[in-house]
Structures are given as structure tokens and as C-alpha cells.
A and B are shown apart, each in its own frame.
Chain A
């Protein structure tokens, strides 16, 4: 793989993951407004694969623990991209990965809990 291709792919994966995180944030925000939120919520798997349609079941507490770090994402156990991320936690239902390099930078720039966050799908993000 050419270096340019790798950069493009890494950026694409990071933007996907940031988008899934934003979607999950909206989901948890909506669910919190319900009188009885479910114990386990089927969040969108935050992996970078464009073929993944999986759901990661997390409690709101587990979700919050992941979200406390702007460069961490919850993915299904076999949905890790080792060349772009490190596994920092392993659970039965999910794995927490921490982004590296460009992907880490994009993760922080697009952290939805930061007031100055950038839209992960903004064309000029790179």
C-alpha cells in the first residue's frame, strides 16, 4: 500500500469512527430523556470498517466511561484495526480502542463533548 493510500485510508477510518461516535452521542442523549432507559443500549459499533453493521451493547455507565476519553472508541471484539489503534480495554461484549497518529488527532478534533469540535464529515477536516 502506498503511503498516500495509507494516509487516506487512516483518515477515512478516523472520520467514520468519529461520525459513529457523534451518532451514538445523539442516541444516548435521546435515550436519557426517556423515563426508563434500557439497561443495555445497542450503540453503533464505532469501528472504521465500512462493511460493519454491528451493534455494541453498552450500559450508559459503560458508554460514559469510554466517552470520558476523546480518543477512545467502543468496538466489537473482532473489529480492531491494529495499525491505527491500540486496545486499552477488553470486555466480553466490547473492546475499547485508543486511536493513534492522525486518527487520534481527528478523534480529538471531532470530540462531540468539546464545544469547539469539528464536524467529522467536514470536507476540510484533513
Chain B
């Protein structure tokens, strides 16, 4: 409830005018009363101080006279009040000339003053100096403005720092990815280098492809399968490897029974020559790979998830087989690099396979041709012991030029020939065949070895038309009871050696002679030789004596070896000489080696 008690009594003012005057003078704001013609009637001390003039000096003067030329605004304000008859408040900036000092900012409130509500006494004004307050406000505004700007730029700096951090992190991540890529590339290069080395290490493509399959697991796949098209067009699983030993048995069973059908993925790859990669295999896709229910079950148990098949190309645009790489539930997927690597791997396997097959074919041809240039077996000559050796040098795909033969050339006579055609390969093989068969024919017609060599010389120089030459020794053997008469002729050939029963080694006179096929006027000479029981005649090609380490001492080495074979059979002597020659040449002959030992048995018997 409202307090209804009466307020304390206030004593009446004895001097109300004086009291009002005191209030007027004490007001902290400037107060002025202007006459209707806008002259000062009175101002209080506060306004007088603001104007810099005593209060009494205002009376009768206009606003402009007191406040200076800059007071047109103030004067306009008072006129407006007069004209509209309502109070107006406005902020004015003044610099009263009498006060001096800086401009002051004033809040001015002007209002009309009436007496008895109708009679205009003039215009009242209350003036408040807000210069200091305004300055403080302006300073606060400036500070706030600066703070806003500073905050904005600080926030921008935070954004930039965050961006820089993200960029730095991204750069680090990219560097890490780059490092991982470089490592992967290095691993791939190493893998390919290893595979290439393995492929180059042997021409046994079955073995090397199995090794390639093994090395691919688990590097690029969880299991790997190589299938080749065999010559009869059936498919053959050549190699299989699985990275999980626990599943190896299943994998082996799968590989053993893998018979892809014509419409299978593998069949399509073989026909098209283009790789196919099946990812996230469905049961339907698995049946595209295999049709046999047991195979399908094995494939499912092996957990095949992604199955890639690449053609193994040959050098003529055909397809030799396929390379299949499989990823199981390990979660791995084929990357672009894996797919590229698989293609390179299949291409290299194809190159190796083509080379290996070509090598095998050429080796077979060379072997067959070489065999045709040598006797299948030496004849059995009563009273004569024979032994021979032939060691081809170097590449097995190239036919050598060494040859020898022993054959009956008359009722009781036999002929032994041994020669060396210059060069290797098909041309040498042709000359070798021609030389061998020419001498065989000549020996039947003519018993004189020198004449036989002359015939061969003429044939090589003219009839055959091949600019090649050869060396040869032709020996006519005349077995007699307990002895062996021999007539020899040499055509550019190293001298034969005789190992006498006593152990002495003798070079047969007449060795070397003119090369066959070089000179039309070449003359060959016969040399007569008599082998006593236990004596051995050794015919050989220069592959036995001419080698780098020999330093010209090859024939001496041979003689020394032969000298140590006293009393040994022809076969034993051939073995010993062969072994010594190989030892002196580091185990691999630099040139073809052909040896023919003809021995007169010590007991007069003889066998081949």
C-alpha cells in the first residue's frame, strides 16, 4: 500500500526570487533567456563562462554578437523555435571569440518562453558543454574501431595459419605418398630385375617360369598360375604358387585339374590377346573361370576375390599362354602399378618362352646336323683299337666344323680322317659334310691319302664354290698281324703324335702341310708310319692345343699328357687327353675338340 503519511513540512521561502536566482546561478548548465527579437535578456554564470564574457555584458546583444560568426547555426536554431513555437534540441559546435580556446561541442535545447501561456517572453536556452564527453566518446569509438580492425586481421591470421598448417600437412602427406611411390617403384624394378635375371639364367623355360610364378607370390598376388598352350594346342598348367601354405594343397589340386573351357575368361584372353581383370568376383563370374563343380568349389574355398589374366605374347603377335594373378580375402586390390607390372611380367615371360623354344629348336637342329657329320659309332677293325671324342665349344645351337670318320676303304684297308673346317654354323656344316664325304669317296677310289687331300683341295677351290678352307689329316690303315701300317697326309693340320709302347712320344713327320682349299697348286705328301704292338697314333684338332692359357705350349702339354698314358687303352688315352685339355681351358673348350686314337694292341688283339 502507498505510504499515506504526510511528508515533513517545508518552511516557506522568505525570498523566493533570491532562491531562484541562487538556483539559476548554481546550475552547472548554461541558461539564457532571449528576448523575442533574439537579444540576450539574461545568462547564468555557467553560460557567461562558456562565452568568456561577464553575464551583464550579454544583455541586449544578439547571439551572433556573443558567440561569433560561427553561430549562424545557433541563431537559426533560435529563429526556428520562434517560428515553430516548439522546443528544439541540437548539437552545435561553437568557438566563442571572447572565450578563446578550441571549439566546443554543445548540446543546445531551445524552447519558447511564455507568460500566462500566451504572451511570448522570448526564447529560453539550456546549453550543455559536451566537448569532453564527446572527446571521450570519440576516443572510445576510435579504440573500438581499432579493436574491430585488429580482431578482423587477427582472425585472418588464424585462418592463414590454419591454411598454412593444412598445406604443410598436405605437403608432408604428399611427400610421404611420393616416398611410398618411389619405394614401390624401386621394389617393382628390383622384382623385374630379379625375374629378368632368372629368366636369363637358363633356357629351361619350364623351370624358369615356375621360379617366376613363385617370385610373383605374394609380391603382386596371393596366388599365381601360368598356363601354356602346348604344341598340340592343349592347355598345360606349367606353374602354380600360393602364398598361404595352409591353402597350398587346395591350390595344387586346383592347378592339377584346371581345364579352362573355350568360353572361359582364359579362353577369351587366349583368343583376343587382351588381358581381363575380374574384380569382386561373384559366383557367376567364378563359373566363367571354371566349369567343373569340383574346380568351382576349390576356387571358392581358395577365396578368390579378384582374378586377373594376362596373355603371354610371342614375338609374332600370337599368344603362348596366360599369366593369372589372384587376390583372395586378404583385402588387397590390384593397383594400376600392379596391372602394369603384370603386363610387363607376362611380356617378359613371353619373350623368354619364345627365345627358349627357338633355342631348343635350334639346338635340336644343330645336334641333329652335328650328329650327321660324325660317325654313329666307330667300326670294329681286327687288330686295331679305336677311340674317339668330340666336344663342341660354346653355344649348342651352332654346328661346329670338326669332323672325323673311320671306314673301310679296301678289302683289308681302312681309312681314318679327321679335320677342322674354318668357322661355325651352317656354312661350316656344309663344308664339313662335303669334306667328309669327298674324302670317304676318294679313299675308296684311291689308296693314296695325299691324292685324296688333293681331290678335296680341288673340290673346295672350284667345285663347291664356297670360299672356305679346312685342315685335315687322312690316314690309310693297313692292319697286319701284330702291326699296323699307316700312310698319312696332312693338309694344314697339326702333326699327329705317336705314343710308343715304351712311352716315348713322337710327332709324325710331315705334319701341317698346305691348307686345303687355299691354293690350287698345293701339294700334299704321304708319310709312312709303322705302329708296333702297344703303339698309339693320336689324331687331333687344334682345339686340343690352341687355347689362350697355352701360350704356345699346347702341343708340349699334349705330348706330356700323352707320355703319361703308356700302356693304356685307346679309350683311356682319349679320356685323359680330353680331361687335360678341358682342365687347361677352365672346363669349357674354346674351340671344338676332336680326337681319334688308333692303337695297335700290345697283345695283337683289337677292338673298337
Encode contact with A along B140-166: 1 for CB under 8 Å, 0 otherwise. Answer: 010011001101110111011011101
Asked whether, in the complex, the Cβ of A50 is within 8 Å of the Cβ of B141, the reply is no
Complexed CA–CA distance, A87 and B482 (Å)? 118
Whether B138 is near chain A, meaning CB under 8 Å from some CB there, is yes
> Are A50 and B145 in contact, with the CB atoms below 8 A?
no
Q: Which residues A1-44 have CB closer than 8 A to chain B?
A: 5, 8, 12, 15-16, 19-20, 23-24, 26-27, 30-31, 34-38, 41-44
B contact face: mostly helix, strand, loop, or mixed: helix
A73 → B minimal CB distance (Å): 13
CB neighbours (8 Å) of A38 from chain B are 145
Contact between B156 and A35, CB atoms less than 8 A apart: no
Residues of B close to A12: CB separation below 8 A: 163, 166-167
> How large, as a class, is the contact surface on chain B?
20 to 34
B152 in complex: contacting residue of A5, A16, A27, A34, CB < 8 Å: A27
Asked if A31 and B148 sit within 8 Å, CB to CB, the answer is yes
Inter-chain CB contacts under 8 Å: number: 58
**Closest approach, in angstroms, between the C-beta of B537 and any C-beta of chain A?**
81
Given A12-B166, A53-B153, verify A23-B144 contact (CB < 8 Å). Answer: no
| Residues from chain B with Cβ under 8 Å of A35 in the complex | 137, 141
| Residue with the highest number of chain A CB atoms closer than 10 Å, among B138, B152, B170 | B152
Closest chain B residue, CB of each to CB of A13: B163
User: Complex: how many Å from CA A52 to CA B164?
Assistant: 11
| Contact call A50/B156, Cβ cutoff below 8 A | no
Write out, one digit per residue, whether chain A residues 46-80 have a CB within 8 A of any chain B CB (1) or not (0).
Answer: 00001111010000000000000000000000000
A8 to B152, CA, bound (A): 26
Decide: A16 near B141, CB < 8 A? Known: A23-B152, A27-B148, A43-B152: no
- In the complex, what's the smallest C-beta–C-beta distance from A114 to chain B, in angstroms? 20
Q: Give the distance in Å from the alpha carbon of A30 to the alpha carbon of B152 in the complex.
A: 10
B170→A44 contact, CB < 8 A: no
Q: How far is the CB of A47 from chain B (nearest CB, A)?
A: 10
The answer on a CB contact under 8 Å between B159 and A42 is: no
Complex CA gap A44/B156 in Å reads 7
- A23 near B141 with CB under 8 A, answer no
Can you identify 20 A-B contacts, CB atoms within 8 angstroms?
A8-B170, A12-B166, A19-B156, A19-B159, A20-B159, A23-B155, A24-B152, A30-B144, A30-B148, A31-B148, A34-B144, A34-B145, A42-B153, A44-B153, A44-B156, A50-B160, A53-B153, A53-B160, A55-B153, A121-B159
